[in-house]
């Protein structure tokens, strides 16, 4: 499992409904990882890594991290606009 803390402590009573609605839309669209509200209002992203009987495959881990980075580069400004109510 890879966990990314996308933003720490940003979900609150004023933006929770809009942020969680957006996270749900992202979860419907992207199947490789899942967003959720973590402890203390954090926005988190989890991705499961598949393995073989022999263990972790480094290229798979590298690919998943690359996919997450590309996704966050594109999605982060949109997500933060929901956080800041813009």
Could you read off the pLDDT of 30-62 as tens digits, one per residue?
888 999 999 899 999 999 988 778 877 888 889
Count other C-beta atoms under 10 Å from residue 81's C-beta: 12
Which distant-in-sequence residues (6+ apart) come within 8 Å of 21 by Cβ? none
pLDDT of residue 83: 95
Q: Cα separation of 58 and 26, whole Å? A: 27
Whole-number mean pLDDT of the chain? 92
- List, for residues 26-37, the tens digit of each pLDDT value: 999 988 899 999
* Site of tokens 């992203």: 45
> pTM of the prediction?
0.87
């Amino acid at each position: 499992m890879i966990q990314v803390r996308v933003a720490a402590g940003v979900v609150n009573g004023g933006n929770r409904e809009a942020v969680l609605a957006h996270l749900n839309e992202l979860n419907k669209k992207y199947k490789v990882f899942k967003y959720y509200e973590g402890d203390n209002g954090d926005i988190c992203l989890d991705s499961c890594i598949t393995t073989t009987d022999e263990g972790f495959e480094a290229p798979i881990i590298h690919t998943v991290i690359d996919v997450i980075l590309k996704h966050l580069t594109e999605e982060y400004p949109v997500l933060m606009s929901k956080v800041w109510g813009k």
